[in-house]
Structure 1
Amino acid sequence: MACKENCNCTLFHKDVIDKVENKMKDDKTYIEISELLKVMSDLTRIKMLEAISEDELCVCDLGHVLGITKSAVSHQLKTLKKYNLVSSNRIGKMVYYKLKNKAIIDLIHASYKELRG
């Protein structure tokens, strides 16, 4: 059996090829994954996600932990909220933020382990 299009090679492992093709997602899904990873590729946002991974923090506390202004924190939170990565909890006049999905911090920790061996 020949490969698709202009390739002259022979498929030796059709069962493996079929399995791989069946697990592949549509392009829209891969574009969404790419966009999510772009959002997470920012140093400040990675640190912010780590900071709120277990405890809720307000904008002021996040600014203190990260060493950035409240305005910068708010800007980054807006992006993280747009991609549904953080949740907010209003208590009186204060708004507290927390990581919405544990899988995100697991990805960050797995990346750290990969880098550190």
Structure 2
Amino acid sequence: MSENLYSDIISSGVKDLLTENEKDLEGALKLISLLSNPTRLKMAFLLSKEELCINDLNRILGVEQTLISHYMRAFKDMNLTRERREGRKRYYTIEDSRLQDFLSAIRIMAR
């Protein structure tokens, strides 16, 4: 096998691998970016433990309701939350097992 052909095969394989993983990397970066904000990270920890409404998060975190709603939209846009309606209230929780595992890893690494 010529050196150029071997290099082409290796380069092609690496490019394919990077292309396949690019979507995964983009998703990981979006998640890391979402959780890089202290309030959003706290929201994720809270919602991973129990179902809460915007008012609950407002009282617990002491953050304006409009900001909590804005942050919740980011979680919803990434399909990370489950929503349940009860009358006019909406309750949210995080049931995505991958995010649960990620949050557990953060807890362990933060010790």
State the TM bucket, normalised to the shorter chain. 0.7 to 0.9
Aligned length: 103
Number of the residue aligned with 1:36: 31
RMSD (CA atoms): 2.7
Secondary structure at the residue paired with 1:53? helix
Does the 8 A contact of 1:57 with 1:96 survive in 2? yes
1:59-70 equivalences under 5 Å are 59-70=54-65
Determine what percentage of the aligned residue pairs are the same residue.
27
Runs in 1 of length 4+ with deviation above 6 angstroms? Answer: 20-24
Higher relative contact order (CA 8 A, sep 6+): 2
Secondary structure at the residue paired with 1:108? helix
Number of the residue aligned with 1:90: 85
Number of the residue aligned with 1:47: 42
Q: 1:103 to 1:27 in 2, by over 3 A?
A: closer
2:93 and 2:104 map into 1 onto residues whose CA distance is 17
Number of the residue aligned with 2:103: 108
Number of the residue aligned with 1:75: 70
What are structure 1's unaligned runs of at least 5 residues?
6-17
